[in-house]
Structure 1
């Protein structure tokens, strides 16, 4: 599409972008939703449940599991109602015969109000752009050694997915089909031979690989964890009272490590010009504009220049430029034209 033709359709794009932004917001809804047990429907019980639900959301959108101990965060938890967009009580059948149904409160919090409050307090915010994490989990329970797969019928797979949902981390497990079994073995994972693991992971195309080794000890369970990706490699150990507890702690630390890289803290505003090539259709323009607008450091997006299939966008930022670079490269929308320093802000649309 010529530069003249692209200019002629920019007004049409604005209408399309309104719809596009709504679609992006819908994808964010689950980050700001939480469920908490409620002891009743009275105001005091409702306030307590809302406080717990808000605490869950704050951990999810900051990546900090210790946030409840932060004095600034506690100011948000004192009045959870001012961030509530909607809530409802739900009853689930009792787990034991003859027991009363279990009462829960579900709440949807106001994304704009809550992110603004985090910014005003100088707290980090981790937006919708998060790396895909593939988890290889090896378990030695003292009598049996096994790998946990996506189709495993055991509590550890459920624990992993539940913990990932609580933290807002997109986690998956390998299929462990014949292809995986030929590529990697229990001994590879247990021995810390990461080469075969990384090779076997390629078919899943994750941005981060998490390797966990969990085993029973006399005092409980131990977990050795390795995070590969996000520009670095990290190793740590945890101890838990059960295998499930050990997996939860391992995933919590993974979330904290990733959040430390991708969560942003508001600073003095600035602007940055970003050039994107390969935009030759109306849909391409809408896709790039919508994607840039959805990034958490970006306050505003304007078109600065159109030349052929290249569009230069002017971005108003609320945080550092490096935070923006990391988030752009995390997504699957734009790719750098080259690795040179001169091309840091030059991208091509990925088809």
Structure 2
């Protein structure tokens, strides 16, 4: 087996990722609305922040209340680095958590962790209110409520421009349809991984929303409600987070160690692939021209989902090229080349 060092390792951080997946900044920083800065209010908001963070990292709404995190609930300070207040609106307690101690506590509790590399979501959001019907465009004031909800639930959300052509496409029938074809065509220029369609209606003092999410060949849907746009947006993002997390989160002690081979590599793709494989502890074993072999820890389904973010294609077993025999007189390799269980190509 031939191990190769990347002579360009120092340059990888300067290369833009080939995939659309985004590294979510502020994953371990949580804002929780408060009505005052009293010690009691701060303690209550801190408990809510812990729960928000655990759901954000695991997708499990019940995980924060489990016995494995009882010590964290009693003393959240052991995973907190600092507090602060954000003027908002709304005024919020800002809690910064330590990533290392937080992840360690979650692993010790036996919980799966969803890393910071997450699929980008393009959100088509139509509001029907007493003021009329409107598509939420990137530059509108109401877009801030959607972005705040997405950040709160740990999702990289993009919004369309909302121009006239897009308003013609983003109608209530199209947003509620199981056929995403019209929206997919309008979404191509944004290059997102997932497509979200939301039709929200105001009904008296309440909002109700129907949502659909498409990621690759998979789709999810649901219905939520809230007291205002911000509340219903948070409910939508929470539901989506809980649907997506099981596809990407890696649980300690359950994942299987296996070898992954990827063909068609270049400098830019090395950076993208290494970043995508971080949650699986990816370690390069062999680099041979445009081919690389990684040791990874994760289920085959999780790896397939993660690699689909970079538009990688799985190589069918029948198309795997046979290893070349050693020519007469040539020196045989010191050790046999590692045999990958999963093979993909760009």
Corresponding residue of 1:297: 280
Which moved further from structure 2: 65-74 or 266-275?
A: 65-74
CA separation in 1, counterparts of 2:117 and 2:318?
Answer: 24
Is 1:108 matched up with 2:93?
Answer: no
Counterpart contact for 1:337–1:347, Cα < 8 Å: yes
Is 1:222 matched up with 2:208?
Answer: yes
Corresponding residue of 1:174: 160
Where relative contact order (Cα < 8 A, 6+ residues apart) is larger, the structure is 2
The correspondence of residues 332-351 of structure 1 with structure 2, limited to 5 A, is 332=310, 335-336=312-313, 338=315, 345-348=342-345
Question: When the two structures are superposed, what TM-score results if normalisation uses the length of structure 2?
Answer: 0.76
SS in 2 for 1:61: helix
Corresponding residue of 2:194: 208
CA separation in 2, counterparts of 1:235 and 1:322?
Answer: 21
> How many Å apart are 1:54 and its aligned residue?
2.8
Which moved further from structure 2: 319-328 or 46-55?
A: 46-55
The correspondence of residues 250-265 of structure 1 with structure 2, limited to 5 A, is 250-265=236-251
Counterpart contact for 2:83–2:96, Cα < 8 Å: no
Which moved further from structure 2: 260-269 or 128-137?
A: 260-269
Which whole-Å deviations, capped at 9, do the CAs of 1:280-306 have from their partners, x for residues lacking one?
A: 55x765x26732552x132x5142x33
CA separation in 2, counterparts of 1:242 and 1:306?
Answer: 53
Corresponding residue of 2:306: 327
Corresponding residue of 1:310: 291
> How many Å apart are 1:40 and its aligned residue?
5.4
Corresponding residue of 2:110: 122
* Structure 1: gaps spanning 5 or more residues: 96-101
Counterpart contact for 2:209–2:225, Cα < 8 Å: yes
Matched length: 319
Judged with a 3 Å threshold, the aligned counterparts in structure 2 of structure 1 residues 115 and 229 are, in CA distance, closer, same or farther, namely same
SS in 1 for 2:118: coil
Counterpart contact for 1:38–1:49, Cα < 8 Å: no
Corresponding residue of 1:99: none
Judged with a 3 Å threshold, the aligned counterparts in structure 2 of structure 1 residues 307 and 191 are, in CA distance, closer, same or farther, namely closer
Question: When the two structures are superposed, what TM-score results if normalisation uses the length of structure 1?
Answer: 0.75
* Structure 2: gaps spanning 5 or more residues: 18-22, 321-340
> How many Å apart are 1:132 and its aligned residue?
1.3
Corresponding residue of 2:330: none
> How many Å apart are 1:110 and its aligned residue?
2.3
SS in 2 for 1:31: coil
Judged with a 3 Å threshold, the aligned counterparts in structure 2 of structure 1 residues 74 and 275 are, in CA distance, closer, same or farther, namely same
Is 1:87 matched up with 2:64?
Answer: no
Which whole-Å deviations, capped at 9, do the CAs of 1:149-175 have from their partners, x for residues lacking one?
A: 112233xx2221111010110112211
SS in 1 for 2:287: strand
SS in 2 for 1:30: coil
Counterpart contact for 2:135–2:170, Cα < 8 Å: no
Judged with a 3 Å threshold, the aligned counterparts in structure 2 of structure 1 residues 153 and 46 are, in CA distance, closer, same or farther, namely closer
> How many Å apart are 1:70 and its aligned residue?
3.4
Question: Higher helix fraction: Structure 1 or Structure 2?
Answer: 1
CA separation in 1, counterparts of 2:88 and 2:203?
Answer: 37
Which whole-Å deviations, capped at 9, do the CAs of 1:176-197 have from their partners, x for residues lacking one?
A: 2133245444553367764322
CA separation in 2, counterparts of 1:217 and 1:288?
Answer: 45
